[in-house]
Structure 1
C-alpha cells in the first residue's frame, strides 16, 4: 500500500450540507423558514435580550463602591528590607521581581519594618511609608507632577535655590 492509495472507509465521511445552492430540498429559504428576523443573515438578538424591556442588570439596584481610580503595583517596606539594595528605582524593583506589570504605577506602603537606609523612587507612597523610610535614614523620591506632596532629593533642592 502506498500513501496516495489511502482513503477513508466507505460511509465514514459525509459531504456537508450546501444550503441555498439550487433545488434539492435545501434551496430557496435554506432551512430557515419564511421571512422574519431569524431568516436574515446576521440575525439574532443576543443571549441577554428580554423582548425589548429593560435588562435585568439595569433593573437591579446598584450598591457598593466602584473604584475608578488608579490601580497600583504595591511594594511594602518589608519587601525593601529583603532586597539588600540601597537605591531602588523602577528597574531595580522589576529586576528583584517586586514589580511585574510594566505599565502600572508603583506605590510604597508602610507594611512591615525597615531597619536600613534606602533611597526609593516610586510613583506614590503613603504618608506612613515616607515617615518610616526617613526614620531609617533613607529617602522617598516621588515624581514632580504630584505637586506639594512630592519629596525631592537634596541636590534637586539646591538647584532650585540657586
Structure 2
C-alpha cells in the first residue's frame, strides 16, 4: 500500500452542485436564487432582525425599567482552604496576586468560608463572608476590611 495512491471509498464522496454554469447544467441562469432583489446579489447578507429599512421592533418599543449591571460590584473570590498554602502571615491583594489566587490586584477581593484555617493570618481585603470572618478569628487571626 502506497500512501499517495489512497482514495476514498467509492460513493462516499459526492461533488457539490455547480451553480450558475449555464442553462444546460439545470441550475444556470439565476443559479437557484430567484429573480431579483438583495438576496440574489453576490455578497449580499442581512440579519434576521433587519426589516427592510423599516424602523426595527427593538427600536420602536419603549425602553423602561432599571438595570443594576452598571453599578454591580464584582468580587474576586478566594476560599479559606486556599489561604493555607500561603507562607506569609500578612495577606492582602498583592500577596494573593503574587501566589496566583486572584487575577487582578485592583479588583475587589472577597474571602469565603469554604475550608478551614490552620494558622493565624492577618488578612486585609475588601470583604469577608460571615463564616470566613468567624473562622479566621477563631484561629487567632484578624480580618480587616479595607
Offset at residue 62 of structure 1 (A): 3.7
Q: 1:116-135 counterparts in 2 under 5 A?
A: 117-122=120-125, 124-125=126-127
- Larger RCO (CA under 8 A, 6+ residues apart): 2
TM-score by length of 1: 0.50
Structure-1 residue corresponding to 2:67: 65
Deviation for aligned residue 1:91: 4.0
Equivalent residues in 2 for 1:82-161, closer than 5 Å: 83=84, 86-88=89-91, 89-91=95-97, 94=100, 99=101, 102-103=103-104, 105-108=107-110, 117-122=120-125, 124-125=126-127, 138=142, 140=144
Distance 1:57 1:42 in 2: 27
- Provide the rounded CA distance (Å) in 1 between the counterparts of 2:43 and 2:31: 15
Q: Name 1:17's counterpart in structure 2.
A: 17
User: Whole-Å Cα distance in 1 between the matches of residues 6 and 112 of structure 2?
Assistant: 74
Deviations 1:18-76 (A, max 9, x none): 22234423334222122211112232331223452332486264434322244221346
Q: Is the 8 A contact 1:87 1:119 kept in 2?
A: yes
Instruction: Tell me how far apart the structure 2 counterparts of residues 32 and 125 of structure 1 sit (CA, whole Å).
Output: 61
Cα RMSD, aligned residues only: 4.6
Q: 1:93 to 1:73 in 2, by over 3 A?
A: farther
**TM-score normalised by L of structure 2:** 0.53
Change (3 A) 1:83 1:18: same
Change (3 A) 1:103 1:81: closer
Point out where structure 2 has 5 or more consecutive residues left out of the alignment: none
